[in-house]
Structure formats: structure tokens, C-alpha cells
Structure 1
Amino acid sequence: MNMENKALLSETQLLKDTLDLLWNRTLDQRKVCEQLRQENEYLEDYIDNMMSSSNVLEK
């Protein structure tokens, strides 16, 4: 294997590793976003319930 092929192989491996890292970060961020979405839904329901029980909008 000549030097050019070794350099190309090394660069290919580096690009693959970088792509794997980015993909894993993307999956982690999707999980975080989904968790935050669920928390927002919970808080919206909580606030709605609090407002309706205290009749804030009717005052």
C-alpha cells in the first residue's frame, strides 16, 4: 500500500468517525428535545388547570 492510499484510508476513517460522532450527538439532542416537549406539555396542562381552578380569566 503506497503513502497516497494510506493517507486516503486515514482521512476516510477520520471522516467516518466524525460522522458517527455527529450522528450520536443528533440522537442525544433528539432525546433532549422530546423530553423538553413532554415537560412543556405537562406545564401547559398544569398552568391551564391552575388558571381554571382559580378563575383568573374571569376577574
Structure 2
Amino acid sequence: MKPKKSIPNKIKIIELNKKEHIKNKTELIGLTAEIIKIDELINEIYIINIKAVYIKNKFN
């Protein structure tokens, strides 16, 4: 039995100012993912295909 994923495949991240430069990959709050959809009307970014997930710092 596979363990359940702790992070959903689709995450609503932040509102983005249209003037900001958008790159294909962005690093947000400890995870790296590809942006696959940008809704120009409501300035929301949706990301999917998480490349690396945030791991809690074991040293703190």
C-alpha cells in the first residue's frame, strides 16, 4: 500500500502582480514546481508536478 501524499497535486499559491516577471519554474515556501496555469483575470497561480517538497528542518 502506497503512503498518502502529504501535499496535494494542485496548490493555489499566491496572487501575482502582472508586472512581476514570471519564470517557468519558481521557488515558493520551500518547494519547487512548474507553473502550468496562470489566470490573468484573477492573478492566481496554480502549480502542479511538484519537483521537490518542503522538508522540516531537523536541526531546529
TM-score by length of 1: 0.21
Larger C-alpha radius of gyration, 1 or 2? 1
* Greater share of helix: 1
TM-score by length of 2: 0.21
* Greater share of strand: 2
